[in-house]
Amino acid sequence: MKVMKFGGTSVGSASRMQHVAELVSSAGRNLVVLSAMSGTTNTLVEIAGYLYNHNSEGARDTISRLEGKYLKVIKELYSTEEYAAKARDFVHEIFAFLGTFSKQLFGPVQEKMILAQGELLSTHLMLWYMQEKGINAVLLPALDFMRTDVQGEPDGDFIREHLTKLIDENPEAQLFLTQGFICRNAHDEVDNLQRGGSDYTASLVGAALQAEEIQIWTDIDGMHNNDPRVVKDTEAVRHLHFEEAAELAYFGAKILHPTCIQPARYANIPVRLLNTMEPEAPGTLINNIPEPGTIKAVAAKDNIVAIKIKSSRMLLAHGFLRKVFEIFESYRTPIDMICTSEVGVSMSIDDTRYLGEIIHDLKKYGTVTVDLDMCIICVVGDMDWENVGFESKALSAMKDIPVRMVSYGGSNYNISFLIKEEDKEEALKALSASLFAK
């Protein structure tokens, strides 16, 4: 069995849904994971925003605009009144449910219930379309098997046990459908795996089922060697090691959610990135096989803050770094990059929720300076330190750009630069020109 995950644009219109149905119906008895139709989750976030602000009118208008969009999709999607009516009733029910929130107290629990409706809509519309076409598809409700534990981490045993049971109960099914992104938490409330989290669902269910392959179908022909939203003429990379893919996803390559690689990697299940609009294109294969001697791709992560602590007295004294790290740990703030010298240590973070508190606490140990609006540029490929020339190639591409920090040697797969966000475009273009130009 394979897991095939289709993102928002892949199911973003009636015709796209029809295309996906055709594509998966000839692919075998697989588990198909769907995101919400593109734009829906953003609109649901908007609705929740109005409700937080007690703006019932704003919520109502946005709800009815979104409902109109779905009714239009239904008109185009189905060819029989029987299925169109089924879908219309379901859509009315969901939007009536969304309408009930304005009368209640509104908080994060309610917000998550609202955000879950996008995937519930897309999967039901797809289920009925498939059934109308005579495909024996069975919808496995993600809220019955996707579960997080008290730490908010996926509960692998629960997922495996419940998902396997649901599959075993349906021996006649030609294929299975389920919702990406949504889950229940340890308190049995409706929750989610964070924005973009359908990739994570795919990887978790793939690992739970020991799937043959996890396919992430999207609107581009695989992982490109640079951010196609910023740089022209980027090209698809045909093969990545799990670690390379994880670095790229973590450092900003939006095609993959950063959490998606780990479960696949632990279960040693290959991940393939494929293009829904061009299903014959080879895409990108991600697996455990290293490929020496190549620089694969570049990615950038925005909204980074650099923090430097200088302390001529204490820095390299025994236990100093531990004290510094404990401060970050106490605010559950991960450090992305770190550089040390005899008199100072610089770190970068992207979660700035506790920046004020962290700076306050660090001041106990030295002089603290902070640079906002920074960006990490990550060059990924064979960066084994014993190879000569790879890191210097990346470094020399950055020769005209002020670099705040460099990180190399943490893994065999990357070299990262911390620069100003305003220099990102120039840096990405310079790296493409020097590393990938033919």
Nearest 5°: phi and psi at 315? -50, -60
CA gap 137, 175 in Å, rounded: 5
Contact region with ligand ASP (CB under 6 A), list: 83-91, 154-162, 195-203, 395-403: 195-203
149-188 mask for ligand ASP (x: CB under 6 A)? -------------------------------xx-------
Cβ 4 to ligand ASP, closest distance in Å? 14
DSSP letter, residue 148: B
Tell me if residue 236 falls in helix, strand or coil: strand
For residue 240, list its beta bridge partners: 286
Q: Where would I find the beta strands (DSSP E) of 55-159? A: 137-139
Which option in ligand ASP, ligand ADP, Mg ion, none does residue 139 bind, with CB closer than 5 to 8 A by kind?
none
Q: Where would I find the beta strands (DSSP E) of 187-329? A: 190-192, 213-218, 239-241, 271-275, 284-287, 295-310
Does 228 help bind ligand ADP (rule: CB under 6 A)?
yes
Nearer to ligand ADP, 154 or 252 (CB): 252
Nearer to ligand ADP, 163 or 299 (CB): 299
Contact region with ligand ADP (CB under 6 A), list: 141-149, 183-191, 227-235, 302-310: 227-235
CA gap 285, 123 in Å, rounded: 26
Does 198 help bind ligand ASP (rule: CB under 6 A)?
yes
Cβ 408 to ligand ADP, closest distance in Å? 21
Task: Note whether 85 and 74 are within 8 A (CB).
Answer: no
Cβ 199 to Mg ion, closest distance in Å? 6
Binding ligand ADP (rule: CB under 6 A), the pick from 4, 17, 83, 196 is 196
Binding ligand ADP (rule: CB under 6 A), the pick from 86, 147, 224, 241 is 224
CA gap 78, 71 in Å, rounded: 11
Does 258 help bind ligand ASP (rule: CB under 6 A)?
no
Nearest 5°: phi and psi at 6? -115, 125
Characterize 350-368 residue by residue with b for buried, 16 or more Cβ atoms within 10 angstroms of its Cβ, and e for exposed: beeebbeebbebbeebbeb
Identity (one letter) of the amino acid at 325?
A: F
CA gap 25, 159 in Å, rounded: 25
Nearer to ligand ASP, 198 or 226 (CB): 198
Contact footprint for ligand ADP (CB under 6 A):
7-10, 35, 196, 218-220, 223-224, 227-229, 253-255, 297, 299
- Which chain residues interact with ligand ASP by CB under 6 A? 7-8, 35-36, 41, 118, 180-181, 195-198
Contacts to Mg ion by CB under 5 A: 7, 196
